[in-house]
Amino acid sequence: MNKIIPFLLFLLIFGCSVQKSDDSKVLIGHLEAQLDYAVQMAEQLSTKKLISPRTSENGELKLVSSRDWTSGFFPGNLWMIYELSGNEKWKEKALQFTLPLEEEKWNGGTHDMGFKMYCSFGQAIKYTNVANYREILVQSAKTLATRFNPTVGCIRSWDHNSDKWDYPVIIDNMMNLELLLWAAKETGNDNFKEIAIIHAQTTLKDHFRKDNSSYHVIDYNPETGEVENKNTHQGYADESAWARGQAWGLYGFTMMYRETGMTEFLSQAEKIADFILNQPGIKEGKIPYWDFNAPNIPNEPYDASAGAIIASALFELSGFSNHKAIYLEVAQKLLTTLSSDEFLAPVGENAGFLLEHSTGHKPKDSEIDVPLVYADYYFLEAIIRNKQLLNDN
């Protein structure tokens, strides 16, 4: 890869004037070229069912159906490169990969409606005036709300593993609440907002340990609302701190404060940030290993997706918190690391994905040290958020 790319991102991050220079366009050009390659590969391999890039297997691009929880990220990436580049062709390509997801607005068998629909159609409504996209998102929120159990005070996450859990709620579910909060504002129906707030408050109460690290899965009795089990599914152990889970919590509670102004959510976001920033290497911009307590560190795989989510969340949290300076510094360092030769893929490689070295589900030996489409999504979002902060100063 051209060694100038990481250097240019360093300038983009730390030098405000460079945003208006021709040099900053080189970075965006690199991202455009790689996404161009990704679109070409996806178009060649797509079928009526398999429509959206998720990862690679043995170097080959893997596509998934609209039902997959990751299906909304690739169209979201195309909407964000449209924003970064201003190139109209990306609007057309983004729509091409967004529209096939419409049928998911009726899929009540998943809690991942926010990931799928808000990352795709939610991005689309920022750049289009198509009323139907709004209706698609509102219906998606209505469908998601059907999974809320008021006795538990949470939206149910998974319907699988019934032999293991009665009513599982995962920390990832915080990410799907933004769709409900958007729908509340759009429709004036405060029920959406109430569900999101109650879910977040229950999560705050039950998911976190004394050190402000998070469990992955809390299992409830659906009849009484009592906690039955505290487990992991994708982390190293029940009591370990799965890195992406900590990132989801940080991002989710920061978002909840932005949308509600409730200080309990800001306080929780700051507590999670404190836990993450006190993990080895994070303050220096080191990308986390897949689990902060993985037994063979440093001989464990990284999770670039966790690093990207943390960076994006810290950029936003820096705008709300009295700890702005440290959050901004760490976010910028993480972004610089992600843009380095170690993580940013050369054009025409990595099956078209931007970032290398993510980990999906190590306990199941699945998606280890591979590209993952959601890592790219939060990487692009972090770049956009950083640019916005620099433009505001």
Binding residues for substrate: 112, 172, 232, 244, 248
Nearest-angstrom CA–CA distance, 354 and 168: 33
Positions at the binding site: 112, 172, 232, 244, 248
Could you give the dihedral angle defined by the CA atoms of residues 101, 35, 337 and 16, in that order, rounded to the nearest 10 degrees?
Answer: -100
Contact 93, 39 (CB under 8 A): yes
From 191, 360, 213, 334, select the one nearest 272 (Cα to Cα): 213
Supply φ then ψ for residue 157, to 5 degrees: -85, -80
10 Å Cβ neighbour count for 148? 20
172 is annotated as an active-site residue = yes
From 95, 92, 79, select the one nearest 136 (Cα to Cα): 95
3-state SS string for 164-228 = CCCCEEEHHHHHHHHHHHHHHHHHCCHHHHHHHHHHHHHHHHHCECCCCCECCEEEECCCCCCEE
Cis check: omega of the bond before 298, within 30 degrees of 0: yes
Q: Which helix (H) or strand (E) holds 358?
A: strand 358-361
Supply φ then ψ for residue 343, to 5 degrees: -120, -35
112 is annotated as an active-site residue = yes
Pick the catalytic residue from 112, 219, 291, 303: 112
Pick the catalytic residue from 68, 163, 172, 206: 172
The 10 Å CB-count burial string (b at 16+, else e) for 153-175 is bbbbbbeeeeeebebbbbbbbbb
Q: Which residues are catalytic?
A: 112, 172
